[in-house]
Structure 1
Amino acid sequence: MSLIRQHGALPKAEIAHKTGLSAQAVTVIINRLEADELLVRKTPQRGRVGQPLVPFALNSEGAFGIGLKVGRRSFDLTLIDLNGNVRATLHENVQYPSVIKLLAFLEKGIEALTLGLNSDLRERILGVGVATPYEIWSWAEEAGAPSEVLDEWKTFNFTQGITSIINLPVYVCNDDTAACSAELSFGNPHHFDNFMYVFIGTFIGGGVVLNGSLFTGKTGNAGAIGSLPQPVLDPQGKLSSQQLIMQSSLYILEQMLIDAGYDGKSLWQSSEYWGELGATLDDWIDKVADGLAYVALCSMAIFDFEAIVIDGAIPVTVREKIVRATAEKIAKSDTRGLSPCEVVSGTIGGKAQSIGCANLPLLANFSQDSRSLFN
């Protein structure tokens, strides 16, 4: 199914060729998936010698996933189908995340989210995926939240809390790993097999794809670029370090805008349009690109990535400026001994985390990545 999703539609003969399976084995698998209404037949391909080839594609209504994104400034509920199409979405801004606010949002939103599905289609919802920042209780000062409220997350059991509201399997994942899964499953038009994924949100984070699959590490926190210490000079000119979070995150831009007399809170109203923010935005973009160039060079040295894929809860025009600035800074660096690496834009956009967590139940049931994600 992952192969068919990647190519859109494939006939049995091509599936056998690409997988190395026998024609008989592919026929058995395809027949079973078609009987389960997970695949649909497309128009036969004519014009060749012999019988016309019948491509098979994913049935968009064959399965659904619900995603619950826990952000530091917002909550999202998202319903996607098997092809990754967003069927419904709900969003709520919060000053800071609390367990009580999350459960209230879920309880009032879950029924509204599935109103567009009839009873038969509701039976095809495979679970609830949860995307949450790693150690969401950390960085309380940077998040502008009371530490005692964030400390509640240390003992909160997502599975118990969610199943008390909706009786479905629950899958929990790092938020930026979830975003990376969305890019891998529904984007990645260049078909990169090895790339570092970057998501610029309230706090910057990332994910890793190796050999065409998500790589999550032993604790599920691979790609935690926000915690990467970057060398800096302190006010006395001595070498020190600060985490990338404190340089290349949206909360930094918010504070810069407030200091410059802008309404910094406007960033959280829309990730599609910010209006004219002048030199402050340009300064922030330069800081972000400095940090990402450093991350890219470190990643290139260790993993020999094909690409650095940059996305985020930011307008497309801002993302493109960051991509160009990062590529320019890498080009000006001493890269002797490093293989070239492309710097490109992600394709999912600001909802990547939300779509990614809704994708978790689908990955758990149909993907080879399920073991690395949930074990």
Structure 2
Amino acid sequence: MGRRAPVTAAEASGPAGPDGFHRAWRAGLPTEQVLDEIRELRADDHDYADGTVFNSICSEPLDPARQVFAEHLATNMGDHRIFPSLPRATVLVTRMLGDLLGAPDAGGVPTSGATEANLLAVLAAVRRHTGSGRPRVLLARNAHFSFEKIVALLPVEPVWVPLDDRYRAEPAAYREALADRPALAVLTSGTSECGAVDAIDTLAPHAASLGVPVHVDGATGGFLVPFAGELGHPLPSTGFTTEGVVSVSVDPHKYGGAPIPSGHLLVRDPAWLDPLRSPSHYRGAADHFGLLGTRPGAALLATYAVLRRQGRAGYRADAAEVFRLRELTLELLARAGLRSAFPPELMVVGVACPDPEAVQTAMERRGFVVSVSRRFGFVRLVVHLHQTERQLARLVDELAAAVEEVAR
């Protein structure tokens, strides 16, 4: 099941070499030949359904999202006069996502994903800041690396807080940092690396008592945490049921079954979006609230379609299946003599082993995609709906063999 090494520049030019590639580009090619080239380009890609992908929080879009996306490729979120369906769909998608997270009357902005949504949340706080000096943003060391990009782009001062032994924001340190009243405090509901959920239910109300707004990065947990408690896995709330949470980022293209790119910034009070307004230069054109201008309306319409199809009941069933597969994975690992790196809260299972990077390389030779947490030093497995019981059993067998191989 081994796959080829990354393609070199020479290989990318094709068998005719760089000169032949450029001659073909200038003249154009028949459609069938282009499609053949695409098939060749993708020859080494993995398929979510083939039982080799165990590192991804994304998966195949659900029906009817695929059909809707393909049928509406020309729609442009940057032009509401040509496509008035898109602001209407924005309102309806925001209403459904807001209801999922405890605020049916929330305001919202469709985004390319949580990186953009997180950036907009910080930007809104920056523009609301009235104090002197650069506004401070409180972040735990488990924050998604999108925040490292954000603090490099925006005029903010990051304040980093350490983690507890479960890779969550350490509550005492976080409370101490809140006392300095930063312009925005960020908490995470389902960290990308560990699936950890910060103590949002206690830290956000404390922040509110100090007048500090809280943004929750719910990109990973947004479609799982709302159902965790009723499924027997009590976790802090992701969304607006908790006092102090003013905004939440959520990614329907993760456990929501929507196609990429599909993110959303939700705000408890629609007025929180006002600092993000960018007036258009054209009469009759809508103001922008997101970072991007021209962007695919097809993604928003497909998100609408899958939200309507699934409903809350469908997402609850999906969350139940993720938790079931996670428990099965833990059982299989224990039977194979492999040790969990931490008690998992959501969909990430960490495997403790010597030299995890060598284990990842050994798994790649076997055709499997797993990942390694560079910061915390474990093999990272992501449980998703595209996996079957048989595929998980095979994964664990191969992982045990890889760990044994590396230990020799």
TM-score by length of 1: 0.31
TM-score by length of 2: 0.29
* Higher share in strand: 1
Higher RCO (C-alpha under 8 Å, 6+ residues apart): 2
